[in-house]
Every structure is written in C-alpha cells, then in structure tokens.
A and B are shown apart, each in its own frame.
Chain A
Amino acid sequence: MSNVFDVQRASFDYEGIVALRDITLRVEGGQRVALVGANGSGKSTLLRLLDGLCFPSSGSVAVFGKAITPSTLQDDEFAFEFRKRVALVFQNPDVQLFNPTVFDEVAFGPLQLRLSREEILRRVGETMEFMGISQLKDRPPHRLSGGEKKRVALASALVLDPEVLLLDEPTSALDPKSQSQLIDLIQSWRSTSKTVVTATHQLDIVEDIADIVYIVQEGTIVGSGKPSEILGNSELLLRANLVHAHRHSHGGVVHSHPHSHRHSHHEHGHAHEHTHDEE
C-alpha cells in the first residue's frame, strides 16, 4: 500500500503551550484510522497538521511522499493537488459553513480548484443528492439544524472527491439517527480506496469506523493497535481519560471498574467490564 501520511517526531506549540509532542505516525492508502483522545488531547491539532493548516515546530509531516511546509504549500501546483486529494471536515460546522447558501457552500471548493462551470454544477448536484441535502440548496446555513449542518459540511468536502478525508469529531452534536447514517457512510468507504482519518472521543463508534486506532493523550500518542485490542485495554483507556473508574456496591461489597457510557440501552447505561478491584 502507498504511504499517504508520514509524520516523524512532530511537535507543535501554540502560544507557548505544547499541543503536540514527538508524534510519529504513518497512514497507508485506503486505511481507516481513528485518533482517539479526551477533549483537549491534541487530536484536532494533529488533523490540522495533516491538512497543512499549521506546521510542526519540530519534526516533519509528509503527504504522498512530499513534505508539507509553508514553502511547499506556496507552490500553486502542489497546493492545488494537495487540496484536491486531501479534505478536512471541521468539528464546528459553523466554521466550515461560511457561504450564504448551501449550494454556494458545496460549490466553494470546486470553484477554488478552478473547475469548469459545467463540472462544478454536475459535482455539486450529485454530491447534494448523495448526501440528501438537495432540498436545502437555497437555504442559508444558519437556518439549518445541527445534523443538516454536519451533512452540508461533509458534502462540501466530499464534492472534491478527495482520496483522503480527515474528519474532526464527525458525530458530535448529532442525534442518534444522523449519527448512524454518518457511520454507515464511513463504513461504505471500506470497499473503496479512500483513506479516512477520524478524530473522536466516542469509543462506541471506533470499531465501526477504523482499522487502526491511535490513542492521543496530552499531545502524545500513548497507544495504538486494532480497535478490539485498544477497546480491550481498560488500563490504557483509563489512563487516557476515555473511561472512568466506576465505584458501586454489589451485595454490600464495594468495588470499582472502568466505565464508559457506550451503550445507552444498557440497564445501567454503561458497558460492564468488571475488573473487581474490590476495596
């Protein structure tokens, strides 16, 4: 498989605060990767680094074998190629939806890539149809619901038909139905050559959206592996603040176990993984 991203010992400081530290990561073409971490762990910054929106203060980031630096992105040819092949969906759709109508929003990317008018109209029409947002085309983004905004944000990236999709908390603020629709969509790319890197703190979607998981904690990668391995490693999840120790009693015996709110239909509203660290 071809190498899409190659991050070597990358660190990033933001106004004196270390956001990422010594990150090493390789993403192969067609891989589905999840960057899992608690809020503020540095996942979003890592995605921005991969998308060339910020640059490492030390170390390097390469995409398709070429370093992403301010100077390489100054090169129009490389920048166009890069933006055509890699797309990022931001966590906050209000950041991404800056155009007056949904149609303009979806058309923005193809316009910047200087595609022909006919090609733009064709792509925008097809993408809106595919995402089920054709009826919203003349609506201003501020009048949309949270789920609709997310779908439009995703459409604005998909319209570029990118090889690599970077998704920042794609299911946050979505109702359960929209959430499962989105997961179905990501799953449908499994059979394609699309590379998908998803930043999330939701453990319950990891198995559905990823082949490999990286756990990010305080700006560093503290673990990686297949979803089943990672989700089975309670100690790692506890350390990365992705689950918490739940203390309760059974028949007068108090014990604690790692606890995450993964399955809302469960009787206790949590996944029971009893370790019986009885006290």
Chain B
Amino acid sequence: MSRHFVEASLRGFARALSGAFASEQTAAKRGLLQSFDPRARIVSIFVLVLTVTLCRSISAVAVLFLLAIFIALTSRVSVSSLAKRVWLIVFGFTGLIALPALFITPGDELASLGPLIITVQGARTATLLILRVETAVTLTTALVLSTQWTQVLRGLRSLRIPAEIVTMLAMTHRYIFLLIESANQMFESRQSRMIGHLSSSEQRHMAVRTAGVLLNKSIDLSNDVYLAMQARGFRGDIRLLDDPRMRTIDVAAILATIAAASLGLWVGR
C-alpha cells in the first residue's frame, strides 16, 4: 500500500468529483442535446434508457448503442472522454459481472477453454448485458455532460419531482465543493507543517480525525445555512420558480424519442 494512500485517495476523489460535476464547458457548446429544453433532454434520455433495459434483442440494443454514440458525439462529447470515462470502465466492471454467465448458462457449445465451456446462450447473455450497460451509461453521460447541473435540477423540478428532493440535491451539490475544498486545505495545512512521512496507520488516524472535524464543520455550516434561509423568509415550504412552457420543438423531440423507443421495443421484443 502506498504511504500516501489515504491522502492520495482523497485528492483523487476531490479531482474526480470536481471533474464529474464540472460539465459546464461541454454544456456551453452548441450541440444536439444542448439545442433542446433540459426537460425534453431528461425525458428523452430516460425513455431511451428504459427502452435499452427492456430490449431483448442484441441487434436492437446495438442499434440503440449506435444511436447513443451519435447523440453523444453530436452533443460535442469527446470520443476520448467517452472511451476513458464510460466504455473502458463499464466494460471492465460489467465484464467482470457477466463473465460467469459465459460458462454457467446452459446451451450449445461455442468454444472451450480447457475444462470450461463457453455456450452460445452464455455469450449472448454476456454481450446483451455489456451492451445494455454501455448504451445506458453512454446516454446518461451525454445528458450529464451536455446539461448544466442547475438545468438538470430545473428540469427535474418541472417534471414534478418534489421540491424537497430537488432542493436537497441542489444543496448537496452546492456544499460538497466547499467541504472538499476545506478537506484539501486541511491536508495542505498539515503537509506544510509536517517533516518526514507518516506511516499508513498514522495516515488513517489523521484521515479519521479530519473526517470528524469536517463533520463538525458541516453541522455548523448546515445550522448557519438554515438560519440564513430563515432570515430570508423560509418557513419550511420549499418554493422554486417554475420554468415557462416548453417549445414545440422540445415536445416534438420527446414524441420522436417515444416513437423510436416503441419501434425499438417492437423490433427487439
């Protein structure tokens, strides 16, 4: 184990989290998804993900995968970002889960690896699983990278997701940056006063103490935030400004997606 495992993990987590949320650059570009109302994007992507999940035919899911790639690329999501953040990781994780299916699914022999026999049905099941997950994650990544987090929240609100849930998500997103920044500053401050290296167990102890301090800070912060909300008239009911009606083109996009999804389901039934 690396001597700086805990610290490196925290820094890595902070970087990954910041990167994951900071989709503003892609969202600001002109692209296919960006040209529609966030609500239309959310509904359309949700419908497509649902279709992928319900589709039983590999060829239909493969077509949907191609459609997902088309949507992502025309929404200015880079191929390298998709390959690194989605395809490779999903293939690794889902592949691991799907691997036993190759051998344990009963059926006709496709190939053999010593005593292990890969069946046609097993290969089909594993391929379908991997393709489904790749397609669903490609679609959601395209949505997340092409839509600002605030627009996602507004979209959820407009789709009648309860205001309490939307506000909770908004505040989590808002303050997670602050707490990550605090954690980083605490580590840097410790680093600036440290000579030599700490052992792994000392590092873990330090991380636990830091977590405790951060927890206290977040409790204080949440109390103060609640007071700040009260000071501006908050009485327990969340009130948000609803967005105006969607344009015709946004409604058309949703209808077109539903039609394509129905066709996909019929073909892949």
Contact = CB atoms under 8 A, between A and B. Distances in A.
Interface of A: 48, 51, 53, 76, 79-80, 83-84, 87-88, 90, 92, 94-101, 104, 107-109, 111-114, 117, 120, 138, 140-142, 156-157, 160
Contacts, number: 79
Nearest to A89: B231
B233 A96 contact: no
Contacts of B173: 100
A53 B227 contact: yes
Contacts of A90: 224, 228, 231
Contacts of B175: 98
A117 B149 CA distance: 23
Contact of B178 (A87, A112, A138, A142): A142
Interface in B203-233: 221, 224-225, 227-233
Given A112-B232, A113-B233, A142-B178, A100 B227 contact: no
Given A94-B178, A95-B221, A88 B170 contact: no
9 contacts: A90-B224, A95-B228, A99-B170, A104-B241, A108-B232, A111-B241, A114-B239, A156-B232, A160-B233
Interface string B133-150: 000000000000000111
Contacts of B239: 111-112, 114
Contact of A80 (B150, B170, B233): B233
Interface string B157-184: 0000000000000110111011000000
A142 B177 contact: yes
Q: Name the prevailing secondary structure of the A interface residues.
A: helix
Q: What interface size band does chain B fall in?
A: 20 to 34
Nearest to B150: A100
B223 to A, nearest CB: 9
A154 B202 CA distance: 44
A104 B150 CA distance: 10
Contacts of A76: 235
A112 B236 CA distance: 10
Contacts of A101: 150
Nearest to A97: B174
Please name the 3 residue pairs, one residue from A and one from B, whose CB atoms are nearest each other, closest first.
Answer: A112-B233, A109-B232, A83-B233
B128 interface: no
B5 interface: no
A160 B181 CA distance: 32
Contact of B170 (A92, A100, A120): A100
B241 A83 contact: no
A145 B39 CA distance: 31
Interface string B8-40: 000000000000000000000000000000000
Contacts of A104: 150, 240-241
B170 A117 contact: no
B70 interface: no
Contact of A84 (B149, B153, B233, B235): B233
